[in-house]
Amino acid sequence: MPVKFEIYRNGARLTAFEPVAAMAIGPESVPVPGEILFRDGLLIVNRKDDHAVGIALLWDVGPLGSFILETTRLQPREKPYVLNVELARFRLMKIVQKQEDWNLFDFPKFEKFLQKLHEGQMLFAETLGKLHDPAVAAGLADRALEMAIDLSEQLATFHTDLLLNRRKQTNGFVKHVFGCRIDPQVNNERYREMVATQFDYAVVPMSWKEVQPQEQSFNPAPVDEWVEFLSKRRVPTIAGPLVRLDSQNVPDWMVIWEHDFDMLREMAYDYVQKMVTRYRKAVAVWNVVAGIQSNTAFSLSFEQIIELTRLLVSQVKTLLPGARTLVTITHPFGEYHARGRGGAPAGVPPMLYAEMLANAGIAFEAFGLEIELGVPTTGNFNRDLFQMSCALDKFATLGKPVFITAIGVPGRHNADPGDVTGGRLNPDQAGRWHRPWDPQLQAEWMDAVYQMALSKPFVEAIAWNNLTDVKPSLPGGGLLDDMLQPKAAFTKLQQLREKFRPPPVQVPTAHGAPAQPATPPTPPPLPRK
């Protein structure tokens, strides 16, 4: 039996509704396969079993924004649920859970939030008393949900301030916090100078598809130039991800090995060996694999995903025993897991993959994490600040630091013909955070999300996903415009760098006067082959 919902807007039941980014939700808010359709005035979730299931979808919360929101898990029954009511129920429940997880009760300033929560709960109680009149109940639930969304973002900010102050007092920040992912194909002097002088480190992608476009062709020249430049300028480098199994990064010639895991493993092993050997003296951190758990280009089993991760990390460690390595999680909300073929789940839920890696004895040093929001593709619809804080919290128990190796949102609310998709993605169709995206809102989002992320003691560094609006991965997603002029987000990033810059370490001389630390030696030139 399916789970069914009625939907109300402005006191009237909807007879036509297009569910956007809708997916079935299982335990622990993990998306699961399921058929979502609107038929005969009902939103229906069809599953092959009769287990309790929720639904998540893009939902408009008025002035606060439009986000992917979810319901609690519900038992199938003949009578339809009211979607408005169940969305409010879940958010209020999540607030209660997180205020306990965050241990907020001991802070006097928390009283005002408790009062707001009480008001929301009383309004929801009134909602439950009106379920015999679904239209009235839905109107009350909409008000309760709006209060809950507003309160949850305020709580996320309050918790951020508490942890940031604590981390500052203990000097809990590393030296290199703020980075940027560069485009190796860009060869522009101003672009390079901005990277060298305005960031703590650089992320240099090493796309397998671009470096090895043909099986017997190896073309690392653009990467060579960037790695050598950064090495000469003593800019720390995160290299990779080396292997990302998606259509944008897997070489076209690999398609013939789509169902041959042994050959995929051999080819990936050979590629990683070449790259690590070539840049072994110039790279600070190796991002070995990214998004392998989402299974977008190859149909790998759970065991094969873990085996391939273990093999490639071990290979880097064999070549460079002292290297720092990352394994990167993409799409941390796991939407891809609900998009499998024939009703089967796709890939592995992100946190299950992370937990398995953390407990499997694989010798990597940290998790990487990619968060790109604001475009209408699976995994990239808008989320609010509270949801993002909750998602990061899941890494707290895994015992490893987190590097956010790519993060970003659009800087415009309409399609960008100059982005990597050629203008196929319209941010206006992916929801909004308070208001439609523009350069100023992009900077405000950066400020809120960077501080929230850095309040987590396990988050070590953050890199923005696009330096410029020259072929960005998100519409208007760069820190600089297409003429390489600073945007509001670039200015905000420099303010954050100044705010979180660790105090200089003073080394006393023999006479007691502080001396500047010694200048580090110039890294050796890039090895040539």
Backbone angles phi, psi at 81, to 5 degrees: -80, 165
Model pLDDT, residue 119: 95
Model pLDDT, residue 344: 66
Structure tokens at 436: 């439609």
Q: Which residues are paired to 491 by β-bridges? A: none
Task: Count Cβ atoms within 10 A of the Cβ of residue 18 and give its class: 0-12 exposed, 13-18 middle, 19 or more buried.
Answer: exposed
- On whether both 71 and 159 belong to a single domain, the answer is yes
Backbone angles phi, psi at 459, to 5 degrees: -85, 120
- On whether both 112 and 200 belong to a single domain, the answer is no
CATH number at residue 411: 3.20.20.80
pLDDT digits (tens, 9 = 90+) for 64-123: 999 999 999 999 999 999 999 999 999 999 999 999 999 887 787 888 899 999 999 999
- On whether both 273 and 388 belong to a single domain, the answer is yes
pLDDT value at 498 more than 60:
yes
Task: For the chain, state the CA radius of gyration.
Answer: 24
Query: Which of 134-138, 228-232, 258-262 is predicted with the least confidence, judged by mean pLDDT?
Result: 258-262
Element (H, E) at 58: strand 54-60
- On whether both 374 and 425 belong to a single domain, the answer is yes
At residue 1 the predicted structure's pLDDT band, cuts being 50, 70 and 90, is confident
Task: Please check whether residue 362 lies inside any domain of the structure.
Answer: yes
The more confidently predicted of residues 255 and 85 is 85
Residues in the chain: 529
Mean pLDDT of the chain: 91
- On whether both 154 and 289 belong to a single domain, the answer is no
| Site of tokens 């604590």 | 166
- On whether both 85 and 104 belong to a single domain, the answer is yes
391, 387, 492: which is closest to 450 by C-alpha? 492
Mean pLDDT of 302-327: 94
Structure tokens at 318: 């064999």
User: The dihedral of CA 448, 405, 499, 470: what is its sign?
Assistant: negative
- On whether both 283 and 385 belong to a single domain, the answer is yes
Sheet with strand 3-6: strands edge to edge? 35-39, 42-46, 3-6, 81-82
Mean pLDDT of 297-305: 86
Model pLDDT, residue 345: 73
376 CB-near residues (< 8 Å, 6+ apart): 20, 21, 425, 426, 427, 429, 430
At residue 506 the predicted structure's pLDDT band, cuts being 50, 70 and 90, is low
Task: Please check whether residue 12 lies inside any domain of the structure.
Answer: yes
| Alpha-carbon span 389 to 399, nearest angstrom | 18
Half-sphere exposure of 185 (CA within 13 A, CB side): 10
Structure tokens at 115: 């009062």
pLDDT digits (tens, 9 = 90+) for 373-390: 999 999 999 999 999 999
Task: Please check whether residue 513 lies inside any domain of the structure.
Answer: no
For 122, other C-beta atoms within 10 Å of its C-beta total 11
For 138, other C-beta atoms within 10 Å of its C-beta total 25
At 210, the amino acid letter reads E
529, 442, 431, 497: which is closest to 65 by C-alpha? 431
C-beta pairs of 524-529 under 8 Å, 24+ apart in sequence: 524/231, 524/281, 524/282, 525/228, 525/231, 526/224, 526/227, 526/228, 526/231, 526/278, 526/279, 526/281, 526/282, 527/277, 527/278, 527/279, 527/280, 527/281, 529/278
Mean pLDDT of 271-285: 94
- On whether both 154 and 179 belong to a single domain, the answer is no
pLDDT value at 520 more than 80:
no
% of the chain exceeding 70 in pLDDT:
94
| Site of tokens 């522009």 | 188
At residue 170 the predicted structure's pLDDT band, cuts being 50, 70 and 90, is confident
pLDDT digits (tens, 9 = 90+) for 410-437: 999 999 999 999 999 999 999 999 999 9
Domain count, the chain: 2
Mean pLDDT of 14-32: 95
Model pLDDT, residue 503: 65
- On whether both 202 and 282 belong to a single domain, the answer is yes
pLDDT digits (tens, 9 = 90+) for 178-196: 999 999 999 899 999 999 9
Task: Please check whether residue 480 lies inside any domain of the structure.
Answer: yes
502 CB-near residues (< 8 Å, 6+ apart): 171, 173, 174, 175
Task: Please check whether residue 43 lies inside any domain of the structure.
Answer: yes
Task: Count Cβ atoms within 10 A of the Cβ of residue 518 and give its class: 0-12 exposed, 13-18 middle, 19 or more buried.
Answer: exposed
DSSP conformational letter for 347: S
Structure tokens at 166: 């604590």
- On whether both 213 and 309 belong to a single domain, the answer is yes
SS3 305: helix
- On whether both 162 and 182 belong to a single domain, the answer is no
Task: Please check whether residue 509 lies inside any domain of the structure.
Answer: no
pLDDT digits (tens, 9 = 90+) for 223-233: 999 999 999 99
Mean pLDDT of 469-494: 96
Range of the domain at 120: 3-167
Task: Please check whether residue 528 lies inside any domain of the structure.
Answer: no
Task: Please check whether residue 106 lies inside any domain of the structure.
Answer: yes
Mean pLDDT of 304-331: 94
- On whether both 65 and 184 belong to a single domain, the answer is no
